Amino acid sequence: MFSVEIDGLESLLGKFKIYSDNLVQLRTDVPDELVMWQREDMKRRYPNMTVNQRVDETEAATSIWPTSRRAYETGYRRYVPRLAQPRRPGPRRGPQVKTPILRDELLAKLWDRMDRLATEQTKWPSTST
């Protein structure tokens, strides 16, 4: 009957193994890179992040506030001299901010970091392997 023999299949399987290992490593590298972005670019002393890992999926998220988080807590009042602040009746709201919460420069830095990381980790292994 027929007999099929393929030479060099071991090297191809080795490349697939290296590629799958890189993808598994990417699941831990993305949250680490998000923490580094918060520390270096956003200048956060204590990065705020949640990571949910499932069998085949990882989700990393952070929360960004326009001003201090404490400004939105009940009972928080910034020191303002009595004469400069007239009393207004009604419920107290958080500070009104006109600037965007996440500046374009910070978003561009995050995209660059994630793009560079994904490009490095999803590169096909070289033919010398």
Mean pLDDT of the chain: 81
Question: How far is residue 92's CA from residue 72's CA, in Å, rounded to a whole number?
Answer: 10
Q: Greater confidence, 114 or 88?
A: 114
CA neighbor of 68 nearest in space, from 49, 95, 42: 95
DSSP labels for 74-126? TT------GGGS----S---PPP--S-SS-HHHHHHHHHHHHHHHHHHTPPPP
Q: Is the pLDDT of residue 129 over 80?
A: no
Indicate the residue type of 31: P
Q: What is the pLDDT of residues 10-23, one digit of tens each?
A: 888 889 999 999 99
- In this predicted structure, what is the pLDDT of residue 93? 64
Q: What is the pLDDT of residues 30-79, one digit of tens each?
A: 999 999 999 998 888 888 889 998 888 889 998 887 666 676 677 766 66
